[in-house]
Structure 1
Amino acid sequence: MKDSTAQSQKAHTTTSFYCHSDPLETGASWYLVDQAKHPEVLRLLFEHDPVPVYDLPYIHSQYREQAYDGPLIIQPCTRQSEEWLHSWLTDGKALAMHGLQLTPEEIRKHLVSLNTVRAPYGDSLFRYADPATFGSLGASLSPHQCLRVLGPLTAIHGHYGGAHWSLVKNEAEPIADGLAELCSQPLVLTKENLAAVERYRQSLLAKSVAKSNGLDGGVVSSWFQQLITLGALNEQALAEGAGLLIGQGFTRALSEGELAAVRKIRQEANWSDTLEALATLAHSQEGT
């Protein structure tokens, strides 16, 4: 990329991602919906707008056969469709996109360029139409990554995890210098980006478990970290371990002695044996 240092400095001054509680504005130029999560959206679109303006980015890529399970771009043409789409935006079902005098072709071309992302373990499909993607990833994006995601857009807004989020360019005019070249390159996600997503998702799960069981959120977060050291590899394992501890009456983090006892009791270092060891530990504590 020409003058990448200058471009990166420009990105620092013009892009930002933040979560907020302010109402999401109406009047978006375009909306974006993930049909994999909401397969009914195209039918609902025709119910709200008899002559809708929409596009399917996957049709214009190697994912043509998956077009009706991929992202759907919608330009609201009636008040009814705008109100419906805005309600989906605030419910975390759609994204709002803003741009200055962008054509449907320009919007589509940019989104097609985001169909795949370059990650540490190879290229993969990028679920950019799902509000959860940027809701969990956004805070970890560098200004340069933010600029690549926005491309010719001036803002993307969504809702995830109980909060509204916004990815915006802070200047009134889009960055022109080097933008076309930047957008010709794939979006690159780092190990740090992926780790941040994992931490964010775990924090949401911890809050949900704590709220559902009347526990302190810090206790559940501590359990999660302890369960990870015991071999929990995914959210399902964390939920299983936390559920077992809750069922046995734990309301505090495990002590170092209890963690050592679990490691000693389990026969193998697999998760099922660890759960059995936790159950035994909980039972022995309950009886003291």
Structure 2
Amino acid sequence: MNRRHFIAGLSVATLGAIGLSRCATDGRPQVTGVAAEAPKPAPQLLPPPPKTARIALPDGVLSILPGDGDLLALTVDDGVSSEVVRAYTQFAKDTGVRLTYFVNGIYRSWTDHADLLRPLVDDGQIQLANHTWSHPDLTKLPLADVAEQFRHNHDFLWKTYGVDVRPYYRPPYGAHNEHVDKVAGELGYTATTLWSGDLKDHAWIPADEVLRLAERFFTPQTIVVGHLNHEPVTQVYGQLVDLIRGRRLRTVTLDDVFLRP
């Protein structure tokens, strides 16, 4: 290469560098040796209250968390969809959200994902409770069949997860009466658990409707019911956890709040 060609090439390279520098001010893509700053991790969710703060279970039907506070009990029912059970459990694992699952053991989802779920149950992040074996209206069954619904589900949860889920039970459809409660109580299920907020996703609804209802009901001391049945809720997990963080709520299981009898 002669000197003239060398100087010409050097000039082109210099102009190229100047052009790249101008790209930065023009807002166009640029080549740079400086790595982009890594995004900051999302803040951790607030922890549950200390065990010493647990209180006695109140008498009667449980539908709210008593007192003033910043607690939110997310309770999720059924388990019709194996994929939604997997996604909800992974959501809890990824974010630290604490959940209470009211299980119908008849659905294969509870055996399909036992290995994923069991460590969170053992750790106390997810609590299991009794929602009967096959989700009948208990008020329309003979009392012997009511008892069998509780026993069958209780035995399944004990054999599959090694946990005694008493005293919490949720009657399917919220349907119960004094006779159902008496049978349940004789089997150790003394805490009839309903809800004060409802995501209404027992049937399919759009994801934006799930989010709208969460914005309404994710409030202090609320027991919210959702369902492990349909996929739209899995599309808004990020917004749900942002809502919890933004309102500075502590997600809790029922065992985080109440002493067992």
TM-score, normalised via structure 1 length: 0.23
User: Which has the higher Rg, Structure 1 or Structure 2?
Assistant: 2
Higher helix share: 1
TM-score, normalised via structure 2 length: 0.24
